Amino acid sequence: MRFAIISDIHANKEALDVVLSSIKQLQPDKIVCLGDIVGYGPDPNYCVEVVREIADIVVIGNHDHAALGKTSTYTFNIYAREAADWTARQLTKENFTFLDDLKLTHSLDDILFVHSSPYKPETWGYILSDFEAEWNFEYLQERICFIGHSHLPDEFKDEFSKKRIINVGSIGQPRDEDPRSCYYFYDSEADKGRWIRTEYPHQITAKKIIQAGLPRILADRLAMGR
């Protein structure tokens, strides 16, 4: 089975549209979204509605949770907190209900899809190092796990168990100093995958962020990929 795996859209319509155009050319069997559909960006309802339509598997992210009032924004920085509060006020009833029904994880065959980590995904812990990955391997029942959350495309391997944790990167707010959107294409039969980067008109998204009255830093960072 061939999967196109996207994550961390963050209400970025322009990035989502370009990525879906790229995915269409690959003709995957399933499209998977690893959460954080909303937060930071100016088009939360559009992005939720598109994901509702095109994604076969969707799990919830911490910014989605925050917009529902299920996760405290106490640990968010001031800009993320302001964006979460703004997003909560924008969501339609239908999109709120869709997000509210999402689960933290989805397991399919020998693959786990989760926003943050296999270990207590509801605590929204990050996997940024080999040490953190090793800890999570102990709680990973499946052979391979796809995550988002950090916005940093990376792969962690456990040589003993042959398990892998792969961060698919971010569509709407890359943070590896590459402003292009990032998603992952995986062929489970061949057990091979690759990150795919796509250019999108981030200047348009940045202008819309400012026009919405959201913090300017959320607009400026798109051009820097941070």
Per-residue confidence (pLDDT) for residue 143, from 0 to 100 = 95
Q: What is the pLDDT of residue 74?
A: 79
**Model pLDDT for residues 125-172, shown as the tens digit of each residue:** 999 999 999 989 999 999 999 999 999 999 999 988 899 999 999 999
pLDDT score of 73 more than 90:
no
In which band, very low, low, confident or very high, does the pLDDT at 55 lie, cut at 50, 70 and 90?
Answer: very high
Comparing 35-49, 64-78, 156-170, 176-190, which segment has the lowest mean pLDDT? 64-78
Using pLDDT thresholds of 50, 70 and 90, give the confidence band for residue 72: confident
Query: In terms of Cα–Cα distance, which of 56, 50, 11, 61 is closest to 29?
Result: 56
pLDDT tens-digit readout, 74-133: 788 999 999 999 999 999 999 999 999 999 999 999 999 999 999 999 999 999 999 999
Q: Are 15 and 171 in contact (CB under 8 A)?
A: yes
The pLDDT of residue 51 is 98
- Surface-to-core class of residue 167, CB atoms within 10 Å of its CB (0-12 exposed, 13-18 middle, 19+ buried): buried
Q: What does the block give as tokens for 107?
A: 């397991």
pLDDT at 226 over 90: no
Average pLDDT of 199-207? 97
Question: What are the structural domains, with CATH classification, of the chain?
Answer: 2-224 (3.60.21.10)
